[in-house]
Amino acid sequence: MKYNIENNKIKITDINDFNLQKTFECGQCFRWNKDKNGAYVGIAYGKPTRLYQENNSIIITSTAEDFEKTWREYFDLDRDYNEIMEKVSIDDYMKRATSYGAGLRLLRQETWEALCSFIISQNNNIPRIKRIISTLCERFGDNITFNGDNYYTFPSAKTIASLKPSDLAPLRCGYRADYIISAAGAVASGDIDLDALAKKSPIEARTALKRLHGVGDKVADCVLLFGLHMLDAFPIDVWVKRVVEEQYGKNFDPGVFSPYAGVAQQYMFYYARNHGNT
């Protein structure tokens, strides 16, 4: 990866395995949106930024320090996704899926945000998930002005733990309000240490997450993959379940894609959701 800096903009050149639309619209994140000029604007780790694509270059609004401390890792820029695509393209279906999803990258999201977001995602569609999370941040996060507009940090677990379910009524998140506050309380009190989970095995981390009220297999696996960046985690939603049933059958083992089963899952999801399973 090569990049240069000019006027608080980082220009990454010669990067052909990073597509902004595929990365931000593949269902892994919910706080990146296009502005009127087609650039993506979002906030992560309390820092807002704007990105746009220009041929094989990505331009990020950022200081050199923020790029090195936050965005380089957040966008997983030191990983070769072309190599991953080759490794998980084990059959004709996956060759089609990876070709369609080429440029998709897995973000290194903040773990509490990922946990809370995927609790909200249960039995929900992406536009509604985004509305709920946006309202949550506007009401309980900190305001940050960026390019003349207001953005909001993701509220801390401590902040959410202090609330009652009725406080979340404006979110219109239904039964999930109890789950959100319960998980926030566990994180804020130290009953579950999200930083420590990153050092455990996927099985240990998954078991710990499933002890949380309202966290089942799918939410736990999403947190492993998107919050702890355990790339072998394999969340199964309705789209991926359909792919597995139609393409691989009941004895399917995600281990065939190891150590990148989670990346393979994202290619499956993105291809099936946008293009069908054929």
pTM (2 decimals)?
Answer: 0.94
SS3 per-residue string spanning 174-197: CCHHHHHHHHHHHHHHCCCCHHHH
State which residues form the domain around 170: 111-227
Residue 95, C-beta contacts closer than 8 angstroms, at least 6 positions apart: 89
Question: Which amino acid appears at position 16 of this protein?
Answer: N
Q: Return the residue matching tokens 């309705």.
A: 238
CA dihedral in degrees (273, 274, 276, 278; nearest 10)? -120
- The tally of domains found in the chain comes to 2
Same domain, yes or no, for 35 and 143? no
CATH number for the domain harbouring residue 166: 1.10.340.30
Same domain, yes or no, for 68 and 122? no
CA separation, residue 164 to residues 159, 168, 186 (Å): 11, 7, 15
For the chain, 278 residues long, give each residue's pLDDT as a single digit of tens: 789 998 889 999 888 899 999 999 999 999 999 999 999 999 999 999 999 998 889 999 999 999 999 999 999 999 999 999 999 999 999 999 999 999 999 999 999 999 999 999 998 999 999 999 999 999 999 999 999 999 999 999 999 999 999 999 999 999 999 999 999 999 999 999 999 999 999 999 999 999 999 999 999 999 999 999 999 999 999 999 999 999 999 899 999 999 999 999 999 999 999 886 55
Residue 219, domain member (yes or no): yes
- Determine contact, residues 262/234, Cβ cutoff 8 Å: yes
Measure the CA–CA gap between 206 and 218, rounded to whole angstroms.
10
Q: CA 242, 248, 254 angle in degrees (round to 5)? A: 90
CATH number for the domain harbouring residue 30: 3.30.310.260
Residue 103, domain member (yes or no): no
Same domain, yes or no, for 209 and 127? yes
Residue 58, domain member (yes or no): yes
